[in-house]
């Protein structure tokens, strides 16, 4: 039997918070917590997987957890279940810059939409993120002035709230962070009790944990990961060098992903779902479909 998947799992987070009312409420509570105007939030376009760029150009797809568009802003939302690392930071920064540069807009720079990256993390990254919400922006090294006001990243430490005594009257965003960081259904229900949107979070969390799609696809991922890494290590060992082992592990991950996608295609999983869950490039996906049809 599969382990219960809580909200700090990126796939589970994506499935639960991809519901418009829930994501809208989470973002509103975040903006209110940091003192920003949240009144303008009404309708959000949620993009679990999309190409954001001019019609005549095809950019590599953006594979984040969630992308929401409100007014003249694009919000990139990422969930990290393990201690936030330098690689994670570079990944989020890459998503942030790609979303900014690949926008479907006119060539006039002043038409670009502001892009905000909200990353839910654990751990004190670089030992300089002591607050629940830590803001990053592009600044000049000499005078510390902001160079670009249209790109902003937040690292949100959901692990910090666990040490703060719970109060029913506390801010909504803090309650959301408690729910995200909890590995107890009973606790999550306690934080959500009496709140419409948060009780919806509980409903979708429980539903996701019993859905056959989640169970089947998680099993496929687990099995493919084991086969891929073992096979990759064998290939690496043939090189007879430490570099060969590293190559083998990387190759194993590549094999793992192809295996996962092939099996999901065989099970007739929805194309957009496969792209969203695996992060495979759409061109690579189409090649695998063609190969399957030839057999």
Q: What is the pLDDT of residue 102?
A: 73
Q: What is the pLDDT of residue 59?
A: 39
Q: What is the pLDDT of residue 135?
A: 92
The DSSP bridge partners found for residue 66 are: 77
Q: What is the pLDDT of residue 78?
A: 92
| DSSP β-ladder status, 73-83 and 146-157 | unpaired
Q: What is the pLDDT of residue 153?
A: 94
Question: What is the CA angle 119-251-66, rounded to 5?
Answer: 20
Q: What is the pLDDT of residue 43?
A: 41
Q: What is the pLDDT of residue 56?
A: 39
Q: What is the pLDDT of residue 139?
A: 80
Q: What is the pLDDT of residue 236?
A: 54
Exposure string over 3-37, b if 16+ CB within 10 A, otherwise e: eebbbbbbbbbbbbbbbeebbbbbbbbbbbbeeee
pTM of the model: 0.69
Contact yes or no for 48/276 (Cβ under 8 A): yes
Domain boundaries, the chain: 10-210, 212-294
Q: What is the pLDDT of residue 185?
A: 95
Mean pLDDT by 10 residues, the chain (295 residues): 83 87 91 75 48 40 66 85 90 85 64 86 90 89 76 94 87 96 95 94 90 57 57 54 53 65 77 73 82 71
Q: What is the pLDDT of residue 141?
A: 77
């Amino acid at each position: 039997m599969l382990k219960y998947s809580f909200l700090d799992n990126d796939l589970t987070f994506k499935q639960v918070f991809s519901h418009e009312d829930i994501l809208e409420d989470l973002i509103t509570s975040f903006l209110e917590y940091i003192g920003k105007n949240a009144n303008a939030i009404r309708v959000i376009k949620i993009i679990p997987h999309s190409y954001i760029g001019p019609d005549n150009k095809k950019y590599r797809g953006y594979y984040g957890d969630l992308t929401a568009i409100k007014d003249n802003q694009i919000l990139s939302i990422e969930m990290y279940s393990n201690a936030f690392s330098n690689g994670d930071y570079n990944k989020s920064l890459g998503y942030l810059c790609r979303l900014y540069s690949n926008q479907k807009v006119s060539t006039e720079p002043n038409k670009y939409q502001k892009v905000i990256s909200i990353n839910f993390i654990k751990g004190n990254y670089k030992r300089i993120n002591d607050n629940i919400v830590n803001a990053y922006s592009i600044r000049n090294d000499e005078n510390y002035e902001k160079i670009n006001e249209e790109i902003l990243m937040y690292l949100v430490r959901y692990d910090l709230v666990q040490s703060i005594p719970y109060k029913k009257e506390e801010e909504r965003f803090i309650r959301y962070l408690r729910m995200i960081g909890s590995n107890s259904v009973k606790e999550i229900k306690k934080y959500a009790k009496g709140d419409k949107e948060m009780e919806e979070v509980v409903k979708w969390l429980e539903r996701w944990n019993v859905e056959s799609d989640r169970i089947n696809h998680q099993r496929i991922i687990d099995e493919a990961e084991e086969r891929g890494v073992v096979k990759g290590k064998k290939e690496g060992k043939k090189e007879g060098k430490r570099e060969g082992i590293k190559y083998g592990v990387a190759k194993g991950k590549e094999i793992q992903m192809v295996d996962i996608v092939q099996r999901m295609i065989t099970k007739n999983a929805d194309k957009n779902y496969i792209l969203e869950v695996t992060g495979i490039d759409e061109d690579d996906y189409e090649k695998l479909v063609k190969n399957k049809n030839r057999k």
